[in-house]
Amino acid sequence: MIEINNVSKTFGSLRALDNLSACVGEGEIVGLLGLNGAGKSTLMRMIYGLVEPTAGDIVINGTSVVEHPEKARSLLGVLPDNAGLYKRLSARENIEYFGRLQGLSETELAESCDELIDILGMNSIAGRYADGFSLGERMKTVLARAIVHRPKYILLDEPTNGLDVITTRAVRTLLREQKAAGRSVLFSSHLMYEVENLCDRVLIIAGGKLVAEGRVEQVVQQAQTQSLEEAFVRLSEATHVA
């Protein structure tokens, strides 16, 4: 389980996260929603140890990110918001490189790469240099790279951003397979239908605070609205006005 315990983060006078607590259970897909600047990426970065909390802690499978950042990170697969690729390596080589860094054997690596390339429909780009890749081609490669070592906990910052419908479907299938294998996924998104389609639960943050969490229908009911989008807007605006 990923436990987020009372985390706050300030950048100078800006409070990016404000005493936020939440969790991601085993084998659960959780969607993280928030307006631009709500604090989603800061929270993600904090979970993978790139940003240190000003207060609070995050515990992954019993390991504190603050006390043992490397051990905690070893449990994660991460798609950061600004992931880059080695342009002089092919898509497959980019994925393999990360797999080797994660200590996979050559057999495990080949098996995992083949599987991901297949699920994400990357056969036509697997052997191409990453230089010149389109947004979707880059996204597929960084996504495959993030989970090549089959991590138990997966953090994805806007994984379907800019992807076409076929690729988005492939990503959905991939995430459902991760869940079926007992892995946990936390992903941020601005796409309500995406979250409704995939997630067991959603977390909505506004102004660095958790303003709602639960199954989509629970959140919609709590906000006394008819849809997740309306609930999201109502909860986010209420925090803006407050």
Ligand X SMILES: Nc1ncnc2c1ncn2[C@@H]1O[C@H](COP(=O)(O)OP(=O)(O)OP(=O)(O)O)[C@@H](O)[C@H]1O
Residues at the interface with ligand X (CB under 6 A): 11, 14, 16, 34, 36-42
Tell me whether residue 16 or residue 186 sits nearer to ligand X (CB atom).
Answer: 16
CB of 38 to ligand X, least distance (A): 4
Tell me whether residue 79 or residue 113 sits nearer to ligand X (CB atom).
Answer: 79
Tell me whether residue 34 or residue 49 sits nearer to ligand X (CB atom).
Answer: 34
Q: Lay out the sheet containing 184-188: strands in order across.
A: 76-79, 153-157, 184-188, 29-33, 201-206, 209-214
Q: How far is CA 119 from the centre of its chain?
A: 18
CB of 232 to ligand X, least distance (A): 13
Alpha helices, H only, the chain: 40-47, 69-73, 91-101, 106-119, 135-147, 165-180, 192-198, 216-222, 228-241
Tell me whether residue 33 or residue 122 sits nearer to ligand X (CB atom).
Answer: 33
CB of 213 to ligand X, least distance (A): 16
CB of 17 to ligand X, least distance (A): 8
Q: What is the rounded distance in angstroms from the CA atom of residue 241 to the CA atom of residue 169?
A: 37
Q: How far is CA 115 from the centre of its chain?
A: 20
Q: What is the rounded distance in angstroms from the CA atom of residue 137 to the CA atom of residue 119?
A: 14
Q: What is the rounded distance in angstroms from the CA atom of residue 7 to the CA atom of residue 235?
A: 20
Tell me whether residue 15 or residue 234 sits nearer to ligand X (CB atom).
Answer: 15
CB of 149 to ligand X, least distance (A): 25
Question: Are the CB atoms for 161 and 126 separated by under 8 Å?
Answer: no
CB of 30 to ligand X, least distance (A): 15
Tell me whether residue 41 or residue 141 sits nearer to ligand X (CB atom).
Answer: 41
Backbone φ and ψ for 222, nearest 5 degrees, come out as -55, -40
40, two tokens: 């989603």
Question: Are the CB atoms for 171 and 198 separated by under 8 Å?
Answer: no
